[in-house]
Amino acid sequence: MKKLPKTEMQRRRRTLMRMMEKNSIAIIPSAPEKTRNRDVTYPYRQDSDFLYLTDFSEPESVAVFIPGRKQGEYILFCRERDEEKETWHGRRAGQTGAIEQFHADDAFPISDIDEILPGLMENRERVYYTMGK
């Protein structure tokens, strides 16, 4: 799939953050993988909202948007690089790729989300989260 220009992705994220209330946070998860049978999955299709805001097509990812955060407003949690798994399931961007290729301000392993996300949510008055998908 062709990547969209950095300026277009930034515009989309800025538009979202302008609509958010002051002192808020948006948490947008990627689509889950769907198991076909035992160890076979259906071809992966990313959640449309997630893809629209991130252009990131990997599963097991969460995008976090925090308007006005000094250390960066767009944070991406994603899978780490893993040579063995990439041999069988395809290349992963990892945290470096999330920043360099997908222009996240910061990126962390998805395995660290339980430790990091509560700190990002601290003192936020409103949380935007996609539900029911």
The confidence band for 38, taking pLDDT boundaries of 50, 70 and 90, is confident
Domain contains 90 = yes
The domain total for the chain is 1
Domain contains 91 = yes
Range of 85's domain?
A: 6-129
Calculate the CA 50 to chain-centre distance: 7
Q: Record the pTM.
A: 0.92
Q: CA-based angle 125:128:132, to the nearest 5?
A: 140
Domain contains 33 = yes
CATH code for the domain of 47? 3.40.350.10
The confidence band for 3, taking pLDDT boundaries of 50, 70 and 90, is confident
| Structure token digits, residue 2 | 């062709």
Question: What's the sign of the alpha-carbon dihedral 103, 131, 19, 112?
Answer: negative
Distance CA 21, CA 92 (A): 33
List, for residues 81-108, the tens digit of each pLDDT value.
999 988 988 899 999 999 999 999 999 9
